[in-house]
Structure 1
Amino acid sequence: METSVSEAKSRAKDVLSLMGFEEKLLEEILSTGRVKKVKAGQTIISPGVRAEEIPLVIEGTLKVMRQDEAGNEIFLYYLEGGDTCAMSITCCLENKLSEFVAIAEEDSLLWLIPVSSMDAWVSKYPSFRRFVFASYQSRFDELLTAIDSVAFMKMDERLYKYLLDKKQASGSYVINKTHQEIARELNTSRVVVSRLIKKLENEGKVEQHRNRIEIL
């Protein structure tokens, strides 16, 4: 991602300006935060780490995963432009270690907000307080959807929903992932994913190519 710091800050200002923040708050966010450019596959938040900054997505997509002690992962939700992670806000404000992992799904541009400013902004600026509460609500709804998919959906339904969620997050009908990568994120086996993708292909819902899947 060939973007200078000044260009990145300008893009961040454009995104933040659309979020209804007060002008003074916008100035404080831009003066106290910093830009971070990340490559696809790069880990942004790791389990067991105490974060000092909260990521706000300016461009690109992050995926948030839950990881158990054995290293098994399950996909929870995506963060896109204008989103932040409510779980990271909670961990930061309560000085807790992170219990999840956030990874760049594609080359992304982030604006990192220092935790030290959060309390003051929540108290001082109604727009920031609404933003935090809206983030909690959005992530809570997505977590309920993730729980419902695990508890009530068959694996073929979970897989198709996963592909549609990925399409919506990336804006592309082409999913550049291997069967093994998908299996890891759905916490199942590659054999099961391969069989179900073949089933979806026979139903005319997807087409398979080498290391990528196209949603029809």
Structure 2
Amino acid sequence: MIITIEEYLHKYFNQFEPALKKILAENCTIKTFEAGEELMNPGQFFKSTMLIMEGRVKLYREGEDSGEFFIYYLEPGDACALSMICATRNQTSQVMAKADEKTVVLAIPLPLMDQLMREYKTWYYFVLETYRSRFEELLKVIDHVVFRGMDERLEFYLKNQAEKNHTNQLKITHQEIANDLNSSREVISRLLKKMEQNNRLKLYRNYIEWIG
């Protein structure tokens, strides 16, 4: 079944005023990304900003050694604050965004952004709230990187995965966890085994069962 822009906006962005929904429906386009497909890359200029309608997007920061560090997820009802900032200032992206599963976004053309900020209060407040919530996400990341050990970071990561996926059966490999936490597979495997011994989780061949 094909879902229209109006239906998506009503479901996930119903706080928008009717006139705002109308202009978005008339000027924006729906884009679909398959799991693993990249939405943006470091060094890329933006032609639009994105509202997430379906699926989930994972944001990474790439290191000089080509390593990847997981920042946070974007889910239905969210917007990419970084793309908003870079777009309005005509700057390139400093992060990589990848579809964690099949994802549908609403692409908002850059020329429309200034008009939305000037004329629609619900968009203005939505942008402010997006900046605030993403800033809080970044503070959590900094807190765990600077002030927590890898065991605590791993526990927070697994708990977050269970909450975001709405399941305790996490189909993620030790290497994927290591990539997200900028660690090694050997370290992650050792810590997972220790957590299993402490009855925090159970390790299976194809998934991890989070007990918490």
- Judge same fold: TM > 0.5, yes or no: yes
| Worse-superposed segment, 171-180 or 181-190 | 171-180
Q: 1:17 to 1:187 in 2, by over 3 A?
A: closer
TM-score normalised to the size of structure 1? Answer: 0.93
* 1:38 partner amino acid: F
Percent identity (aligned): 36
* 2:162 partner amino acid: K
- 2: distance between equivalents of 1:44 and 1:89? 14
**Equivalent pair of 1:44/1:102 in contact (CA under 8 Å):** yes
Tell me the CA shift for residue 70 of structure 1.
Answer: 2.4
Q: Which runs of 5+ in 2 are unaligned?
A: none
| Aligned residue number for residue 26 of structure 1 | 21
Q: 1:8 to 1:23 in 2, by over 3 A?
A: closer
- 1: distance between equivalents of 2:180 and 2:32? 24
Aligned residues: 211
SS at match of 2:9: helix
Map of 1:138-153 to 2, 5 A cutoff? 138-153=133-148
* 2:99 partner amino acid: A
Q: Which runs of 5+ in 1 are unaligned?
A: none
| Aligned residue number for residue 207 of structure 1 | 202
RMSD (Å) for aligned C-alpha atoms = 1.4
| Aligned residue number for residue 191 of structure 2 | 196
SS at match of 2:128: helix
Tell me the CA shift for residue 8 of structure 1.
Answer: 5.0
SS at match of 1:54: strand
For 1:36, which of 31, 35, 40 is the aligned residue?
31
Tell me the CA shift for residue 9 of structure 1.
Answer: 2.9
Map of 1:14-93 to 2, 5 A cutoff? 14-18=10-14, 20-93=15-88
| Aligned residue number for residue 8 of structure 2 | 12
Runs of 4+ more than 6 Å apart: none
* 2:10 partner amino acid: D
